[in-house]
């Protein structure tokens, strides 16, 4: 075990999979120049045929990846910033997500879509908006998001090996987050949540940067409230069993997520809990999400997005 940043863990996952399978390649805009550190220097190691710079045209870039996946390759298509994926929404959500179903299970679509996302860096809307909630709604697409370097390496390797399309963004606020990562080959199966902190008074379901914030709040409140923090890691497939086991202990739920409040991921999970386990709840479910507005950019971002103060207030409310 050694300590890596989140982006270095992603790079290590890419390198190990490029070495393991010659069908794996990466394409995107300015990836040879290393717009993010995880592609820096890869063209020197793997050549221009496997580290493919594309034109500034997202539909063309994704068309390259989709066509290659249909021919048995395993492309990783890097959109740089998550908001740019919406330029290819029909191709990703309909043509790609439904490909396996529409071909009667006879044709797979093994590709990975990744990008930096997340508010708090003052990058404004199309560079910061969350995308996981949008693709979470589309049938046939797996959606996941790491919160630690350890999870990032294992989840990206699992995504690259999957025969289905996987959207796996990473949060810009965690780019330089450091953590212990094994040198050996390992994967974290998509669809398996992780209890990041045990507790007995309230369950906080939180992902990515908000998982980190929730852990900080849980530590702050230790002695006053016993907070269990569950990281879903995967939004689709979602590990409902782990969440329900947590609620059997705590009987209270706070969901923290940077997706929009209206029709978002938190709304879907809250509805499922009410349908499947209403009797476990001793208090109404509380959601801490992004309001129904564009990401404002500038100095307003930290005040609008979910933050430790809002998470603490939600915990106090459901435990009152």
Residue ranges per structural domain of the chain: 2-181, 194-319
Residue for token pair 């390496």: 153
Domains 2-181 and 194-319 share a fold: yes
pLDDT at 74: 97
Torsion angle, alpha carbons of 25, 31, 32, 36, to 10: -120
pLDDT at 268: 95
Q: Could you tell me where the beta strands, DSSP code E, fall in the chain?
A: 2-5, 24-28, 51-53, 74-81, 112-117, 142-144, 166-167, 170-171, 178-181, 194-197, 202-206, 227-231, 234-236, 253-260, 286-290
pLDDT in tens, 69-92: 999 999 999 999 999 999 998 888
pLDDT at 294: 84
pLDDT at 1: 85
Q: Would you name the residues annotated as active-site residues?
A: 127
pLDDT in tens, 107-163: 889 999 999 998 777 777 778 888 999 999 999 999 999 999 999 999 999 999 999
pLDDT at 125: 74
CA dist., res. 309 & res. 137, Å (int): 29
What's 194-319's CATH class? alpha beta
Q: Which of 27, 25, 164, 26 has its CA nearest to residue 96?
A: 164
Q: Which residues of the chain have pLDDT under 70?
A: none
CA dist., res. 167 & res. 142, Å (int): 6
pLDDT at 194: 98
Estimate to the nearest angstrom the gap between the alpha carbon of 23 and the chain centroid: 24
Fold of 2-181: Rossmann fold (3.40.50)
């Amino acid at each position: 075990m050694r300590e890596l940043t989140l982006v270095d863990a992603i790079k290590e996952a890419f390198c190990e999979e490029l070495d393991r399978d010659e069908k794996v390649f990466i394409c995107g805009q300015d990836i040879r120049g290393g717009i993010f550190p995880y592609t820096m220097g890869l063209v020197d190691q793997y050549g221009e045929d496997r580290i493919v710079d594309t034109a500034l045209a997202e539909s063309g870039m994704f068309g390259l990846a989709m066509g290659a996946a249909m021919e048995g390759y395993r492309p990783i298509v890097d959109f740089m910033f998550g908001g740019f994926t919406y330029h290819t929404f029909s191709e990703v959500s309909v043509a790609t997500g439904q490909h396996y179903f529409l071909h009667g299970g006879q044709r797979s679509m093994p590709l990975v879509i990744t990008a930096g996302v997340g508010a708090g860096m003052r990058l404004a809307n199309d560079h910061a908006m969350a995308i996981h909630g949008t693709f979470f709604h589309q049938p046939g697409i797996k959606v996941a998001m790491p919160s630690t370097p350890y999870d990032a390496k294992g989840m990206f390797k699992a995504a690259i090996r999957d025969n289905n399309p996987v959207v796996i963004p990473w949060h810009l606020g965690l780019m330089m987050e450091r953590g212990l990562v094994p040198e050996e080959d390992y994967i974290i199966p998509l669809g398996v949540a992780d209890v990041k902190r045990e507790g007995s008074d309230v369950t906080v379901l939180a992902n990515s940067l908000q998982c980190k914030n929730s852990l900080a709040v849980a530590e702050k409140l230790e002695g006053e409230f016993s907070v269990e923090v569950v990281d879903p890691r995967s939004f689709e497939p979602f590990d409902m069993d782990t969440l329900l086991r947590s609620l059997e202990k705590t009987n209270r739920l706070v969901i923290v997520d940077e997706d929009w409040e209206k029709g978002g991921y938190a709304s879907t999970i809250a509805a499922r809990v009410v349908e499947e386990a209403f009797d476990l709840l001793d208090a109404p479910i509380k959601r801490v999400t992004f309001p129904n507005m564009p990401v404002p950019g500038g100095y307003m971002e930290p005040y609008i997005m979910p933050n430790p103060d809002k998470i603490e207030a939600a915990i106090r409310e459901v435990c009152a």
